[in-house]
Amino acid sequence: MNLSEIRKKKLELRKKIQEARTEGELEDIKEELLALQEAEKLLEEKVNALESGNEEKDTPPEEEEETQNEEGDETDEQELVNEKSLIKNSVTKPEARKLENLKKIKKVEERKMEEKNILETAEYRSAFLKRLQGKPLNEEEQRAMTTAQESVGSTIPTTTLNRIEEKLKQTSALFNQVEVLNIPGYLSIPQEKITNEASWVAENTASDDVDDTTDAINFGAYKLIRTISITAEVEAMSIEAFETYIVKKLSDKMAIAIENAILNGNGKGQPKGILQETLEKVEYAKGSTPSYANLCSLMAKLKSGYKPNSKFVMSSKMLWENIATITVGNQLVFLPDPTGEFAGRIFGRPVIEDDYISDKKILLGNFEKYTINFNKAIEVTSDESVEFRKGNKVYRALGLLDGKTVNTEAFVLLDESATETPAV
């Protein structure tokens, strides 16, 4: 770096000091600034040494006046030419000092990148899982664990977290259909309550002001906890085998809780489910089963804007005992899906079998209009004291999340009437 570059970098760093938000950022900026100041001092010493050498030489009288004029007009570019010459002919020790300063700057930048990506490294993944098992860490793993200062040994590695989320999607029929966010803190999503249509206005005529109104949907942070007890033999497992085992055991039960909450959660200490909202409803007579006409009415109730991504959700009993046998002429209304992605299709819409909806209900809607927000990423910790006498170790997965329907218009419900003559 030349003097101009160093001075420009120093100005940038001084601005960053005013913008720094944390003590860690401030310390990094100060360390880099000190290294630049030392490099600048070294280069200035070299420039001064060259100027002193020039003054000792005899200068002819006729050239002295010209030299003084030139000194008044010296630019940074001329100074940099002298600087390069000095560096080229300088002794080893000052050059080594400059190189050391540049290494310090590079080290600061590398540390910032290391802290940012530490959760994605193989060393941290290995250290995290070994710590859960109770195994000793090697030097690289210990360094990775120490670098992840904010984790305190409980922040789950990126690879393992991705496996848990993927397992949740595979285990839960609906988790993969809803919108999932990972926004820390309390989230608020605006929801349109009353909207006014656009209006045509004649030339030279002012339009009337109309205000749309919105409600806010606020997301909290409810604890979702799953614990499992594993015998001490877990320490003998390889890292890969242990990760697969722990991910499966923890994810399976968490998926069940999330699945149930999406449909039936009461909103008190847990997410609020879709079926707890006031939805547009179609009813069929008490003691009977849904008919083709009921299914058509259900489709008619759902607004056209939500139809393209809509899906049916019903229990296996409702599907295979009632819906799968409905025919129109010689054609079945329900068509099984040979790919196995869904149970099948009705009116071209996918059908999802779910154990957490009543055998009397059918839900149709766009499930992207239900949102789950993880206020804090899932943490996994272990404890030997709980079942010390049994020689077992208890593992706990803890997530902070909430879920809500962000637009109730996106869902309609088919349900059994309380009377033999359903309301029209």
**Statement to judge: residues 312 and 256 lie in one domain:** yes
Number of independent structural domains in the chain = 3
pLDDT, position 424: 52
**Statement to judge: residues 28 and 141 lie in one domain:** no
Question: Which pLDDT tens digit goes with each residue over 360-408?
Answer: 999 999 999 999 998 887 888 888 777 767 777 788 888 889 999 999 9
Residue 57 in domain: no
**Statement to judge: residues 146 and 216 lie in one domain:** no
Residue 80 has pLDDT above 60, yes or no: no
pLDDT, position 56: 52
- For residue 415, what are the contacts with CB-CB under 8 A and spacing of at least 6? 281, 282, 283, 284, 360, 361, 362
pLDDT, position 411: 97
Which domain range does residue 9 map to?
1-47+84-118
**Statement to judge: residues 150 and 259 lie in one domain:** no
**Statement to judge: residues 102 and 165 lie in one domain:** no
**Statement to judge: residues 359 and 405 lie in one domain:** yes
pLDDT, position 207: 64
Give percent above pLDDT 70 in the chain: 71
d(CA 364, CA 413): 6
Residue 235 has pLDDT above 60, yes or no: yes
Mean pLDDT along residues 1-28 = 68
Q: What is the pTM of this model?
A: 0.63
- Using only C-alpha atoms, the chain has a radius of gyration, in whole angstroms, of 34
Residue 293 in domain: yes
Q: What is the mean pLDDT of the chain?
A: 78
- Strand 349-353 with 311-314, pairing: parallel
**Statement to judge: residues 14 and 107 lie in one domain:** yes
Residue 333 in domain: yes
pLDDT, position 161: 83
Residue 137 per-residue DSSP state: P
Question: Which pLDDT tens digit goes with each residue over 207-222?
Answer: 665 555 567 788 888 8
Mean pLDDT along residues 172-190 = 85
Residue 203 in domain: no
**Statement to judge: residues 187 and 97 lie in one domain:** no
pLDDT, position 90: 41
Final residue of a domain: which of 105, 139, 154? 154
pLDDT, position 293: 95
Given a contact cutoff of 8 angstroms between Cβ atoms, the answer to whether 345 and 294 are in contact is no
Given a contact cutoff of 8 angstroms between Cβ atoms, the answer to whether 350 and 168 are in contact is no
**Statement to judge: residues 91 and 164 lie in one domain:** no
Question: Which pLDDT tens digit goes with each residue over 20-44?
Answer: 556 666 667 777 777 777 777 777 7
